[in-house]
Amino acid sequence: MTQSPPRLLQYGKMPLPVLDRELAAQFDVTVLSEQADRAGFLAEHGAAFEYVVTTAAMGLPGDVVRALPNLKFVSSFGVGFDALAQASLLERGVRVGYTPGVLDDCVADMAFALLLDAARGLSAADRFVRRGDWSRQRFGLQTRASGKRLGIFGMGRIGGTVARRASGFDMEVAYHNRRPVEGSPHLYLPSLLALARWSDFLVITAVAGADTRHIVNTEVLDALGPQGFLVNVARGSVVDEAALVAALQGGNIAGAGLDVFEDEPHPLPALLALDNVVLSPHVASGTFETRRAMADLVLQNLAQCIATGQPVTEVPWSAEAAAARHG
Q: Which of 44, 219, 264, 289 is catalytic?
A: 264
SS3 label, residue 181: coil
SS3 label, residue 10: strand
Nearest partner of 118 among 35, 194, 37, 229, judged by Cα:
229
Tell me which H or E stretch contains 320: helix 319-325
SS3 label, residue 184: coil
Report the distance separating Cα 4 and Cα 17, nearest Å.
Answer: 24
Q: Which of 235, 241, 262, 291 is catalytic?
A: 235
Residues 6+ apart with CB under 8 A from 36: none
Annotated catalytic residue 314: no
Report the distance separating Cα 145 and Cα 112, nearest Å.
Answer: 10
Q: Are 58 and 84 in contact (CB under 8 A)?
A: no
Report the distance separating Cα 14 and Cα 58, nearest Å.
Answer: 10
Report the distance separating Cα 7 and Cα 17, nearest Å.
Answer: 19
Annotated catalytic residue 164: no
Q: Which of 7, 38, 282, 292 is catalytic?
A: 282
Annotated catalytic residue 130: no
Tell me what percent of the chain is helix, strand and coil, each rounded to the nearest 5: 40, 15, 45
Known catalytic residues? 235, 264, 282
